[in-house]
């Protein structure tokens, strides 16, 4: 008998955001589990087009469009969660990275799935339309020496070429990874400054818009009316939001968090640290890919993590919680 057998471990479900998508995601879940298939059917009906076919068959360039990618990721995550729910695998807390927070709120019974999938479809459209293609960019800075970020972002906006351009932190993903976003020119200058400051890597990301920065404020304002028109119930499972890394219990708090996250950075490192401080030691990434599982290893080496996005993952999840 191990010590683990005597300790009541708290579990958090974490739901991925953009960057986790791939053609074929969710297909094995739908083929093996009727509960998952039902979620894909509901998504197709709610949106009025075959999102399921796009998830399973692509083409990749159409799936990559933000307005398609966001509802696709949500649908796969919710399908995976429904399978876990039927297997009596339940969380003590939930959290989601960016658009993944919508998935977390569906899991917490705050947001109906049909409402969520329509909301994230509009969210993706508003974000894409907020900034013309090519005007904005994002980049990842890996292992940037501490204390350099603010000065790099300031310098990138103070050159003669800047002419009012902005760049800001868009995501604190782990102690070793910061994502920045803003005007293309300013992001490019910040990348070069980060390299000069000793970052191990600084690279532009293949995205269609500069998410989680001030350039997204037009999208935020357009989304507000849709959020206000949607019912948010109080959560059955507490959520740690990405905007403040604070615990959320009420529907009003959940709605406000989705509104505020659009132009503000994702504080993912703080989210995981908050969950850890609340006694969570076990994390299950629910949805496509394994991006969050990789980040967890860099945030806390003692934290247990597993993922569930394909049918074959279920056995590993059961082993992890045994």
Catalytic residue set: 98, 212
Query: Strand 177-183's sheet: what is its strand order?
Result: 167-174, 177-183, 136-142, 201-204
Reduced to 3 states (helix: H, G, I; strand: E, B; else coil), residue 270 is helix
Region of 249 on the Ramachandran plot (φ > 0 left; ψ -120 to 50 alpha; else beta)? alpha
Q: φ and ψ at 45, to 5 degrees?
A: -70, -45
- The Cα–Cα gap between 226 and 203 comes to 34
Reduced to 3 states (helix: H, G, I; strand: E, B; else coil), residue 168 is strand
- The Cα–Cα gap between 255 and 135 comes to 29
Q: φ and ψ at 56, to 5 degrees?
A: -80, -35
- The Cα–Cα gap between 234 and 211 comes to 28
DSSP assigned state of 143: S
Q: φ and ψ at 37, to 5 degrees?
A: -60, -40
- Nearest Cα residue to 281 out of 298, 261, 305: 305
């Amino acid at each position: 008998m191990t010590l683990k057998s005597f300790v009541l471990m708290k579990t958090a479900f974490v739901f991925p955001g953009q960057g986790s998508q791939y053609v074929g995601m969710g297909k094995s879940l739908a083929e093996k589990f009727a509960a998952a298939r039902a979620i894909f059917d509901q998504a197709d009906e709610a949106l009025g087009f075959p999102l399921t076919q796009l998830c399973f068959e692509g083409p990749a360039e159409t799936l990559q469009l933000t307005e398609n990618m966001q509802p696709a990721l949500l649908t796969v995550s919710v399908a995976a969660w429904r399978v876990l729910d039927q297997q009596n695998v339940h969380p003590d807390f939930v959290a989601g990275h960016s658009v993944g927070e919508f998935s977390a709120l569906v899991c917490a019974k705050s947001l109906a799935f049909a409402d969520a999938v329509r909301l994230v479809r509009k969210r993706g459209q508003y974000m894409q339309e907020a900034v013309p293609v090519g005007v904005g960019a994002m980049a990842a800075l890996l292992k940037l020496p501490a204390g350099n970020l603010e000065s790099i972002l300031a310098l990138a906006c103070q050159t003669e070429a800047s002419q009012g351009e902005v760049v800001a932190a868009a995501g604190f993903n782990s102690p070793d990874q910061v994502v920045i976003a803003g005007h293309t020119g300013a992001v490019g200058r910040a990348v070069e400054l980060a390299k000069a400051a000793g970052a191990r890597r600084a690279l532009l990301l293949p995205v269609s818009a500069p998410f989680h920065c001030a350039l997204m404020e037009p999208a935020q304002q357009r989304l507000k009316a849709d959020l206000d028109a949607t019912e948010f119930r109080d959560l059955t499972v507490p959520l740690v939001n990405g905007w403040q890394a604070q615990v959320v219990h009420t529907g009003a708090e959940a709605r406000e968090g989705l509104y505020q996250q659009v132009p503000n950075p994702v504080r993912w490192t703080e989210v995981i640290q908050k969950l850890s401080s609340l006694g969570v030691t076990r994390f299950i990434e629910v949805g496509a890919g394994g991006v969050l599982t990789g980040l967890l290893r860099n945030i806390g080496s003692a934290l247990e993590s597993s993922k569930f996005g394909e049918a074959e993952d279920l056995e590993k999840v059961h082993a992890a919680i045994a």
